Structures are given as C-alpha cells and as structure tokens.
C-alpha cells in the first residue's frame, strides 16, 4: 500500500503528472469557472452559483425536482425582469419570461430564431435527424411547406373515421375488464399509451393493431422506448441540445439502430404494397406518398403559410428529393411528437375530470346531448366534434395546467438585442440559446387568475378573466409551432367522447391527489401513476 502511494505521489510530482494537473485545472477554469461568469459579464440576472457541469438543472439531473418546478421557481424569482440567465449544463440559455418578448421572438422576429437547439447528424441518427422538429433553416422551411397541407382540417376529417372506429373497439375491450361491480381501476398513462399507439399505427403507418389484446406488440414496445424521456434518455435528449458536437464525436445516437430499422421496414413495406396493389387509404402514409410525388395540395381557405418567407418557401417545393428515410422520419414524428404528448394530455385530463366531478358532469351533458342529436357515438363526425365548446374548453384547460412540453426552445440565428424592463440591453449572438418557460407562463396568476384551479370556464367567450391566446403555449407559438396540434386535439376529444359515453371516471384508493410530478422524467407525469376508477354507466346509455 505504502509503495503504491509512494508511486502515485512520485507520479504526480513527475513532469507528466504536473502537466496533467495543470491541463485539468485549466480545463476546469475554462469550462466551468469562466463559463459560469457568462451572465455576470453581460449584466443578465441569473442564479449563482450554478452547480459545476450540471448548471441550474442540477436538481432535475439528480432527481430532486421536476424541470417544471426548477424553471417555475426561477420564473417567479425574476418577476421584475423580462428574461434571466440559466445554465443548461454549461450552456448559457436566455430564459424569456415576458409575454411580449416571447411573441417578438416566436412571431415578429422569427427570422432570428428559426431553429430549435437540438442538432443531430442525419447519417448517424437517420430518423430523428430528418424529422421536422430537428430540421434547420431552409431544409426546415421546405419540409414544413410540404407537410403542412397534410395537417389541415380537411385531412383531419378524412382520418377521423379511422379514429372513431378504433375508439369504439377500444371501449369494447375496456368493458371486458370490468369486475362484477361494473368498475375497474386503470392506470391512465398506460391506457392512453395503448389508445395512442393503435391510433398512430392506423393513422400514420396504416397498420391495424389492438394493443389492449396484443399487449407486447413490437409497435407498442418500440414506440414506448422511442418516446421514453425518463432517466438517462431524458438527460441524453437535453445533452443533444447542449453539446451536439460532443454527442456526435462520441458517436452516441438518440435512438437505437434496432428502432430505426424497425420503423424503416414498416414504412417501406407498406408503401411497396400500396404501390403494387394501388391501395388508397386516408392516412399519413398516403399523404406522404402524395407529398413525395408533389401532389399534396392546399385546400381552399386553409392557410398553411410558413412564416418568415425568404429562401426555401413554396418555390423550392418542387426540387425536394425525398429519400425513404425522409418519408419514414415524418411518420415516426407521429410517434415522437404525438404519442407521448397526447397520452400525457389525456392522462391529466382523465385525472382532472375524476377529481372535478362537476366539470365531468357538465362535459357528459354536452356529450349526451350531441350523441342524442346524431343518433349514436359511432355517427360522430369531425365537424360535430369541432362544434363541442365545452369539450374544447376542458382540453384547453388541461393543456394550460399540465402542458406536456414544459418549455420551448430556440437558437438565435442572427444577432438580436434583448431589452430588459429597466432598459438594460444584451446582445444575443448567432448560436445563443433561448428557452420559453411555457409551463411557468401558463401558471402565472397575472395571465391566468387562480392558476392552480382547474377551471375550463376561463376559456368561455363570456369569461370574467379572458385568456390571452398568445399565452397558451402548449403547442408553441409562431411558424415553428406544433404541426400536429389539430391531430392531437382531434384524437384526445374523440377518445373522451367515447369514454364518457360509456364510463364515469372517479378518484379511487390509488389516485394521487394533488398530483406530484415524477422527478426523473423530462415529460410531466404523475409520480405514483394516474390511477382512476372506471364505472360503467347504465346499460341503456352504454
Ligand atoms: C398534446 C399533444 C401535443 C403537444 C402538447 C405538442 C407540443 C409541441 C410543441 C410545444 C412543439 C414545439 C413548438 C414550438 O417550439 O413553438 C411541437 C412541435 C412539433 N410537434 Fe407537437 N405536440 C403534440 C402533438 C403532436 C402530434 C400528434 C404530432 C404529429 C405529427 C406532433 C408533431 C410535431 C412536430 C412535427 C413538431 C415540430 C414542428 C416544426 O419544427 O416545424 N405533435 N409540438
């Protein structure tokens, strides 16, 4: 032992040892000490000192608090400022808390903030690297212009039948799980994952699956893996935004090769079969096949303009050469963009309805009224559902209170000046990161009175506290907003129309209320799961 220690000491004292220690000290100084002076040198308020290497997100990384709570506390702490500084690991981020500034960045000055921070190598991460969310600059504009017609109201209408058929079948399966007392305790995230999986499979990939019966199907298990933002995968996702070059150099992939190959085969096989047999089915694969042939048209009166204009707009549309991976990537986006977010929205909505029986009663009344007027749930159309105001208010209030995406992000692509409330200015440079704390903004009592109350009536046209629509950030804001928001709302509303037609949702012995957020997950989720008791409604109505 003594010899070992002696060796170590003499090693350290050797020239090489001294050099190594100096390099490590210099690296520490440049990477940590100097980096954390960034905001102080610019006169930007920030929380000091951030934890070395982990930055201000240390509590999230070490699973002490959810990222929503970390950002929410900072949002309140800097209430006199329009923005503040945050260290995402060692990357300085400007967190913009003032709504006018948010609108400027996302809408008016969008040309300065075109891209998200994440950067993936298309060759290394062939699916997510090609997905719309990760695309940048001209490629993004071109792809968004091509894809937008696939997400208009008229295309949703065509897919609606696929969704309602599936909802009716899923409800029949759930009914078989009821005990003799007509009740079943079900975990909502799992339930809505299965709903969402099968709806995405049919609408995006053209495949019929019943995940309630075939519980371990590859679509379900790989989709769950693909959208898992818990633990290491959540941190990896943040790391791809913060150190894209390091992640690339380490040859790390966001998604496994097995997953990429599975989805690639599903999409390519489906396309090949359809081309051979001339099959036309109103789903996303069909829309993407049309887009690839440049046959996708914008319907009259449906505005799908991609903001900012400039290079890469509609003119470039005709020059795009789509690879098989481009098509597969846009289908997979349904999984990544829509599967976990929609199941999160639905799980929180079920919880709020169970613990707010008056809201559930009012919504059930609306559903019963509409169902009676159309002659049965199976006759529900997209138009009829769109006319249901209370259903819309309940979905909006859930998105406000429990937004699935706690913050939005942008990268500055052209120099930009941010001005604080006291007139102090700071110059943003190309590459600087910006976050918009959506969850904190939507719980700000100045924008949403009584923010912790579940109060759908705030969205009523005659509300005593009218909502500023720009503050509703659950689907983002401006030209880079969520392309799938119509689809998400259509799916969620249809599922609840069918569920409340057949069941009452009640708080049961395992329901955690108030909900505590699971600390290890980047996407908001309930620490103890979303357990709800389903009670069959009377046989005649069901
Ligand atoms: C409740 C469900 C959903 C929520 C809360 C949600 C939320 C979001 C948010 C916050 C963004 C970023 C917006 C911004 O930065 O301004 C986004 C982008 C995106 N979402 Fe969704 N989303 C949902 C469902 C879906 C669905 C069903 C799809 C299906 C295709 C989808 C596809 C996308 C895509 C492709 C983008 C990137 C758009 C672009 O970069 O141009 N999302 N979503």
Residue-wise pLDDT for 404-461, tens only, equals: 999 999 999 999 999 999 999 999 999 999 999 999 999 999 999 999 999 999 999 9
Residues contacting residue 328 through CB under 8 Å, at least 6 positions apart: 127, 263, 264, 267, 268
In this predicted structure, what is the pLDDT of residue 541?
43
Q: Which range, 98-107, 113-122, 284-293, has the best average confidence (pLDDT)?
A: 98-107
* pTM as predicted: 0.88
User: pLDDT grade, residue 30 (50/70/90)?
Assistant: low
Work out whether strand 425-428 and strand 183-187 pair parallel, antiparallel, or are unpaired: unpaired
Q: Locate 132 and state its tokens.
A: 């719309």
Confidence of residue 265 (pLDDT cuts 50, 70, 90): confident
* pLDDT higher than threshold 70 for residue 539: no
Token pair in block for residue 37: 């002076």
Structure tokens at 339: 């599967």
Mutate to test the pocket of ligand 1, among 196, 482, 491, 494 (most ligand atoms within 8 A of CB): 482
Given the CA of residue 330, which atom of ligand 1 is nearest to it? 35
Residue 486 φ/ψ region, left for φ over 0, alpha for ψ in the -120 to 50 degree band, beta for the rest:
alpha
Report residue 206 as tokens: 């053209």
Whole-number pLDDT of residue 60:
79
Give percent helix, percent strand, percent coil of the chain, each to the nearest 5: 55, 10, 35
Q: Write down the CATH superfamily of domain 37-540.
A: Cytochrome P450 (1.10.630.10)
Percent of the chain with pLDDT over 70: 84
Residue 318 has pLDDT above 60, yes or no: no
b (16+ CB within 10 A) / e for 46-74: bbeebbeebbbbbbbbeeebbbbbbbbeb
3-class secondary structure for 219-262? HHHHHHHHCCCEHHHHHHHHHHHHCHHHHHHCCCCCCCHHHHHH
- Binned at pLDDT 50, 70 and 90, residue 34 comes out as low
The yes-or-no verdict on residue 130 having pLDDT over 60 is yes
Give ligand 1 pocket residues (Cβ under 6 A).
Answer: 132-133, 144, 333-334, 337-338, 341-342, 345, 404-405, 408, 474-477, 480-484, 487-488
Quote ipTM for the complex: 0.99
What pLDDT sits at residue 235?
A: 67
Two tokens, residue 323: 């690879």
Residue ranges of the binding site = 482
Q: What is the pLDDT of residue 339?
A: 76
What was the pLDDT predicted at 229? Answer: 61
To test the pocket of ligand 1, the residue of 189, 196, 401, 475 to mutate (highest count of ligand atoms within 8 Å of its CB) is 475
User: Which residue has a Cα nearest atom 21 of ligand 1?
Assistant: 482
When pLDDT is averaged across residues 479-491 and rounded to a whole number, the result is 95
Position 304 pLDDT exceeds 50: no
Are the C-beta atoms of 506 and 532 separated by less than 8 Å?
yes
* Residue among 337, 411, 434 to mutate when testing ligand 1 (max atoms within 8 A of CB): 337
For the chain, give the percent of residues with pLDDT over 90.
Answer: 50
User: Where are the domains positioned within the chain?
Assistant: 37-540
Instruction: Identify the pLDDT of residue 288.
Output: 83
Kindly indicate the confidence band of residue 315, based on its pLDDT and cuts at 50, 70 and 90: very low
């Amino acid at each position: 032992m003594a010899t070992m220690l002696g060796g170590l000491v003499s090693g350290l004292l050797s020239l090489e040892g001294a050099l190594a220690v100096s390099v490590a000290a210099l690296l520490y100084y440049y990477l940590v000490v100097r980096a954390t002076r960034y905001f102080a040198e610019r006169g930007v308020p920030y929380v000091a000192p951030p934890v070395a290497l982990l930055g201000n997100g240390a509590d999230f990384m070490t699973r002490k608090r959810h990222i929503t709570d970390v950002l929410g506390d900072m949002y309140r702490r800097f209430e006199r400022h329009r923005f503040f500084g945050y260290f995402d690991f060692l990357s300085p981020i400007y967190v913009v808390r003032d709504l006018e500034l948010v609108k400027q960045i996302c809408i008016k000055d969008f040309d300065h903030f075109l891209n998200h921070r994440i950067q993936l190598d298309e060759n290394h991460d062939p699916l997510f690297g090609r997905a719309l969310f990760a695309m940048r600059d001209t490629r993004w504009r071109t792809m968004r212009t091509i894809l937008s017609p696939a997400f208009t109201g008229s295309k949703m209408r065509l897919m609606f039948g696929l969704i309602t058929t599936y909802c009716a079948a899923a409800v029949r399966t759930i009914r078989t799980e009821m005990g003799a007392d007509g009740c079943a305790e079900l975990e909502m995230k799992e339930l809505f994952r299965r709903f969402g999986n099968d709806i995405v499979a049919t609408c995006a990939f053209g495949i019929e699956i019943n995940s309630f019966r075939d519980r371990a199907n590859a679509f379900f298990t790989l989709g769950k893996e693909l959208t898992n933002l818990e633990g290491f995968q959540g941190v990896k996702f943040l790391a791809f935004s913060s150190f894209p070059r390091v992640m690339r150099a380490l040859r790390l992939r966001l998604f496994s090769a097995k997953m990429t190959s599975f989805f690639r085969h599903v999409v390519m096989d489906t396309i090949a079969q359809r081309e051979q047999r001339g099959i036309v089915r109103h789903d996303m694969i069909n829309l993407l096949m049309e887009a690839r042939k440049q046959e996708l048209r914008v319907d009259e009166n449906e505005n799908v303009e991609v903001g900012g204009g400039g290079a890469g707009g509609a003119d470039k549309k005709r020059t795009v050469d789509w690879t098989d991976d481009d098509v597969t990537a846009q289908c997979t986006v349904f999984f990544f963009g829509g599967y976990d977010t929609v199941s999160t929205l639905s799980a929180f909505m079920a919880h709020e309805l169970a613990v707010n029986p008056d809201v559930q009663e009012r919504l059930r009344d609306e559903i019963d009224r509409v169902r009676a007027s159309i002659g049965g749930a199976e006759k529900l159309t997209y138009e009829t559902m769109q006319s249901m105001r209370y259903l819309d208010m309940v979905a909006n209030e859930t998105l406000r209170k429990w937004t699935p995406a706690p913050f939005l992000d942008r990268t500055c692509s052209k120099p930009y000046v941010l001005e604080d409330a006291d007139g102090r200015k700071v110059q943003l440079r190309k590459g600087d990161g910006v976050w918009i704390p959506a969850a904190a903004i939507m719980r700000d009592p100045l924008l949403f009175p009584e923010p912790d109350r579940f109060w759908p009536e705030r969205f009523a046209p005659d509300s005593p506290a009218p909502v500023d629509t720009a503050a509703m950030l659950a689907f983002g804001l401006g030209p880079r907003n969520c392309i799938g928001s119509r689809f998400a709302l259509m799916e969620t509303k249809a599922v609840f129309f069918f569920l409340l037609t057949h069941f009452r949702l009640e708080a049961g012995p395992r329901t955690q209320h108030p909900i505590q957020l699971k600390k290890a997950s980047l996407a908001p989720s309930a620490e103890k799961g979303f357990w709800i008791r389903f009670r069959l409604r009377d046989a005649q109505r069901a």
